[in-house]
Structures are given as C-alpha cells and as structure tokens.
C-alpha cells in the first residue's frame, strides 16, 4: 500500500508444504488420475450420444453429470500437475481468478444436476404412468439449462464482488485457488462478500440438497406402500444417485467448515486430502457407478468397444 492506494499482487503463492518432498510421485498419480477420469467420463458420454436407445431423460442427466466431471477435473488436475513440476508454487492473479470461477461453477453445476436428477427419479417412481409425458427431452434440456444458468448467474455476482477487492497479502492456504482463499487476502472490509457468500453456499449446499432429500422422502413413502418388486427397482434406480450426492455434499460441507472456521486445527496432509476430494472422487465415482451398475450403459459400452476392435483388426 502506497500513498493510500492498494497494489494488487501479480502472483499468489500456493501452500504445497510437504507435498513437494515427493512431487514426482504425486505427478504420476495426478497424471494417472486425470487420464482415468477423462477416459471413464468420456466413454459414458460417447456411449449415450451414440446410441439412440439411450436418448432418454435418465441417461441425458447422466451424460450431463459426466460432462461436469470432465469440466471439474480439467479445472483442477492440469494446474496441480504444472505446480508439482515447478520449484516455486506461484500462480498469476488472473489464473487464480480463472480457477476460482471454474471450481465454484463446477460445484454449483454438480449440485444443480443432482437436484434435477432427483426430480427425474421422483416422477419415474411416484408418477410412472405419466413419466414419458412429463419427462420429454425438451423438458430435460430445460431443466439442464436451468441447472447451468442459475448457478452461473448467482456465482457471477459473487465473483464480481471478489475481483473488486484489493489484496494486501499473496499466500493462498490451499494447493489451488478458491473464492474464500482470495477474499481473506483483502485489505478492506469483506462483509458484503461474506454475506453474499453465505447466501450462495446456502442455496448450493443447502437448498438444492434439501430439495433432493425431500424428493427421496416422497419416493420412500411410495415405496413403503408398494410391492417388493417396486421397492427393489426403486433401490436400483435411486442408490447410485444417493451415493453421489451424499459423497459430494459431505466433501463440500467439510471443505467449507474446515477452511472457514478451523483451518489450522487439523494436520496439513488431512487438510490437503479433504480439500481435493470434491475434484478427485466424484468425477471418478459418477461414471463408475452409472456406467458399471446400470445394465443398459454397460452393455452399450461393451458393444462400442467390440465395434472399435472390428474396425481396426490386429491382422491386416
């Protein structure tokens, strides 16, 4: 700060700590993890796009979830890989803000898509006779449009409040940039940012999961009055979705509570592990659960691989 003005840092430092002691080993893990996530998610997306029999609401939502997994992985893995190779772990201010935007929209899209999927499950089980009438492809695309537009608009306001802040420090607590890590470096009062951040977190991590769990309460009530066969079918349809949302919600809540209230109370290694979980586990878990547990997708993936082998025979 000079003559009453603030100087915005050109670069920010990331807190890699003891991670650098085995950085080449971690580079291999990051490269393998990113490749695996891309392969699994793109395989499911390609299978759903290629086969018209899978152009139904359930599978369109799964494709959207896998696409978001590709987006989330690409927001995190490449940057981490590059910083692990560097001696000094610094990131430009513009690159940091870009990562902030990508990471937070990824989280918001994930919760929105899962909420839309919950509605799809609700209609499928609680109103099966009208399911094909209600959940038409135009309706699905409208729900997905809302799942992308609403979080984007909401976070854009949050993001604009962040980039207006002058920064007096340059040390990020994590191995990547997120909104709170940047806001805490500010030289001025951040009350407005805190209030609006609480509102965004309440909507994304509070209201959307609440809506999802409400739909499942309605589903379970219907299942209790139905036959054993209906209950088994409902469990088969709903269990992958519940696993995904509970895992993502747990990681997100831990992340918010940890770095907002007790950033120095837990060991560094545990803090790193929990902070990267939302970008490592869900993009891997979603295609595995849906691609391997849902018979229709699994069969189509096998057929796709067989066709590929046929087109490119070993003996020419």
pLDDT for the residue numbered 293: 62
Q: CB 98: neighbour CB atoms within 10 A?
A: 15
CATH number for 150 = 1.20.1070.10
Task: Let me know: does 234 contact 128? Beta carbons within 8 Å.
Answer: no
* Domain containing residue 52: 18-306
Sign of the dihedral defined by the CA atoms of residues 233, 237, 242, 247, in that order: positive
Question: Which residue is listed with tokens 């997100």?
Answer: 252
Whether residue 3 is contained in a domain is answered as no
User: Among all chains, which residue has been given the structure tokens 């659960």?
Assistant: 289
In a domain, 4, yes or no: no
Residue 151 inside a domain? The answer is yes
How many structural domains compose the chain? 1
Residue whose tokens read 């999927």: 117
Distance CA 80, CA 58 (A): 33
187 contacts 1 by C-beta, under 8 angstroms: yes
pLDDT along the chain (316 residues), means of 10: 55 73 84 92 89 86 93 92 84 91 92 91 86 91 93 90 87 86 87 87 85 87 76 73 80 71 69 82 85 68 61 40
Please give the pLDDT value at position 261. 66
Find all residues with CB under 8 Å of 265, minimum gap 6, and list them.
Answer: none
pLDDT at 220: 83
Tell me the Ramachandran region of residue 88: left when phi exceeds 0, alpha when psi lies from -120 to 50, beta otherwise.
Answer: beta
- What integer pLDDT is reported at residue 213 of this predicted model? 87
260 is a domain residue: yes
Q: What is the pLDDT of residue 310?
A: 43
Residue 135 lies in a domain: yes
Name the β-bridge partners of 2.
5
Burial of 82 (0-12, 13-18, 19+ CB in 10 A): middle
Q: What is the pLDDT of residue 297?
A: 73
What distance lies between CA 230 and its chain's CA centroid? Answer: 31
> Beta 11-13 vs 90-92: how paired, if at all?
antiparallel
Residue 134 lies in a domain: yes
Give the pair of three-digit tokens for residue 142.
Answer: 């409208």
Is residue 2 a part of any domain in this protein? no
The predicted pLDDT at position 316 comes to 31
Place of tokens 């003996």: 315
Q: Is residue 22 part of a domain?
A: yes
Helix axes 57-85 and 295-311, enclosed angle (nearest 10): 70
Q: Judging by beta carbons within 10 Å of its beta carbon (0-12, 13-18, 19+), is residue 38 exposed, middle or buried?
A: middle
């Amino acid at each position: 700060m000079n003559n009453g003005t603030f100087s915005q840092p050109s670069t920010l430092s990331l807190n890699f700590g003891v991670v650098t002691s085995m950085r080449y080993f971690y580079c291999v893990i990051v490269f393998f993890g990113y490749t695996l996530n891309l392969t699994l998610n793109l395989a499911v997306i390609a299978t759903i796009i290629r086969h018209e029999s899978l152009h139904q609401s359930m599978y369109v939502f799964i494709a959207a979830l896998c696409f978001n997994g590709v987006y989330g992985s690409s927001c995190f893995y490449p940057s981490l890989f590059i910083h692990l190779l560097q001696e000094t772990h610094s990131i430009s201010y513009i690159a940091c803000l870009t990562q902030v935007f990508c990471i937070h929209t990824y989280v918001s899209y994930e919760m929105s898509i899962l909420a839309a999927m919950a509605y799809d499950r609700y209609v499928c089980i609680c109103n099966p006779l009208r399911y094909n009438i209600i959940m038409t492809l135009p309706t699905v695309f409208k729900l997905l449009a809302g799942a992308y537009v609403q979080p984007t608009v909401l976070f854009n306001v949050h993001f604009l409040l962040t980039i207006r802040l002058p920064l007096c420090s340059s040390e990020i607590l994590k191995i990547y940039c997120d909104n709170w890590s940047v806001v805490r470096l500010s030289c001025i009062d951040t009350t407005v940012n805190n209030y609006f951040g609480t509102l965004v977190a309440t909507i994304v991590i509070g209201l959307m999961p609440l809506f999802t769990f409400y739909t499942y309460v309605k589903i379970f009530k219907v299942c209790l009055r139905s036959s054993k066969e209906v209950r088994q079918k409902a469990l088969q349809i709903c269990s992958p979705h519940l696993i995904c949302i509970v895992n993502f919600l747990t990681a997100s809540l831990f992340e918010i509570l940890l770095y907002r209230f007790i950033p120095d109370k837990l060991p560094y290694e545990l803090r790193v592990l929990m902070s990267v979980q939302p970008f490592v586990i869900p993009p891997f878990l979603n295609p595995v659960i849906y691609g391997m547990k849902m018979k229709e997708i699994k069969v189509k993936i096998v057929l796709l691989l067989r066709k590929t082998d046929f087109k490119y025979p070993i003996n020419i």
